[in-house]
Structure 1
């Protein structure tokens, strides 16, 4: 059965330096009429599950460990009849996971959350398949230390999360936590991909590798300005 790719756009709060911003996020659902994987369920589990529409969730894949994604993963992965879907995250974002769920444990007085861990840690070069789509894990640190992207060579698609958006690197609010590292990830991991590869981003409209490759060099000026600001 041919796979299809669907998106859900949700909005929710993100707190940066004690300032709360409302941001939109893209959740991607990849699969067929029977089963799907969910990439970055963000902000609104109900909206994501409505789009899943009763299909079996085979995995919940987090391209990063920020709060807007972690806030929905338990609900989206839960399935009493079939068994809960595994939640996947890169090991380098485990500290973000632990901070989030320890805080949630305190707020809800649910001590089980304090010891909760992802079901599977994603690694560079790992791969998994849904319907007839095979996705390879690329480690692209910068937005977070454990940020990943998913590349489907056969379909010429790249799910970039918040590593790369249309027209600029992905940001946390208006902040770039490790911009130079992020730009190096973009160049090293995406530079050799076909220019017509579709880039399905964690926020905003889709783009292509070629469109963004023409802009990459100019983004290093952002990195230099960021470094100079930190030193001043």
Structure 2
């Protein structure tokens, strides 16, 4: 097993329910000296590609379809390649397809060239993520688990060999993941988090889409207390 994890932190904007928020996002690069998979390229494609270096990007995984995880996805997938046939496949859960289409439809409106605008409107992910799907890189497996709530198609990425859970914005350190403190469907999100954490070893590292890392054990101990937060959002 030669795989290692690298992190790139970047600042930018994320839109939720037509409101724009300033966020600081984590991008994770998993792989060895030759090949990598990029999880959640956010805001700063140049910074991500600098960290990738001359390694080949084998796939780009988006843990949700919000614009903070899409605004650099094409540049990172291309990784300097002009020929689209050589671009890395982009992976997203099908339940976030409407978020994907809304984002690229908006880009198309801002495009002057009609052919480029048409291409943006017709763009689709190369891989539709599914619960239990597996990617392999650097001698390890990255397993996908569907965790709806933050968005309908939110997923996490679990690597048993590296003892790490990439939780995206489903789960942050100390609380359910959110954008600017706003939750889309908190009760469903909490159900997803509970189902996720319960069977896992408590010492598994959790690397979230925003903020610092935590562990499964620390967040599992907090999970029940978040029910009060859900009741507050209902009010």
The answer to whether TM tops 0.5 is yes
- Secondary structure of the residue aligned to 1:214 is helix
RMSD: 1.3
Consecutive unaligned residues of structure 1, counting only runs of 5 or more, are none
Question: Per the alignment, in what secondary structure is the counterpart of residue 180 of structure 2?
Answer: coil
Which residue pairs with 1:151 in the alignment? Answer: 158
Which residue of structure 1 aligns with residue 132 of structure 2?
A: 125
Q: Is the 8 A contact 2:15 2:67 kept in 1?
A: no
Show the counterpart of 2:104. 101
Q: Which residue of 2 aligns with 1:178?
A: 185
For residue 37 of structure 1, report the CA deviation from its aligned partner: 0.3
| TM-fit CA distance, 1:128 | 1.1
- Matched residue SS, 1:60: strand
Equivalent-residue separation in structure 2 for 1:40 and 1:17 (angstroms): 20
Instruction: Name the residue aligned to 2:232.
Output: 225
- CA apart distance, 1:15: 3.3
2:211 counterpart (204, 209, 216): 204
Q: Partners of 1:218 and 1:191 in 2: how far apart?
A: 15
The alignment's TM-score, normalised by the length of structure 1, stands at 0.95
Please name the residue that 2:202 is paired with: 195
TM normalised by structure 2 equals: 0.94
CA contact (8 A) 1:16 1:173 kept: no
Q: Deviations over 1:70-120 (max 9, x none)?
A: 111100001237810000000000000000001111111422100000001
Q: How far apart are residue 21 of structure 1 and its match?
A: 2.5
- Cα distance in 1 for residues equivalent to 2:144 and 2:13: 28
Residue 46 of structure 2 aligns with which residue? Answer: 46
User: Offset at 1:14?
Assistant: 2.1
Displacement of 1:153 in angstroms is 1.3
Secondary structure at the counterpart of residue 10 of structure 1:
strand
Give 1:20 deviation, angstroms: 3.1
Residue in structure 2 matched with residue 10 of structure 1 by the alignment: 10
Distance 1:150 1:114 in 2: 28
Give the direction of change, closer, same or farther, for the CA distance of 1:39–1:195 in structure 2 (3 Å limit).
Answer: same
Going from structure 1 to structure 2, the CA distance change for 1:195 and 1:29 (only over 3 Å counts) comes to: same
Structure 2: gaps (5+ residues): none
CA distance, structure 2, for counterparts of residue 37 and residue 134 of structure 1: 11
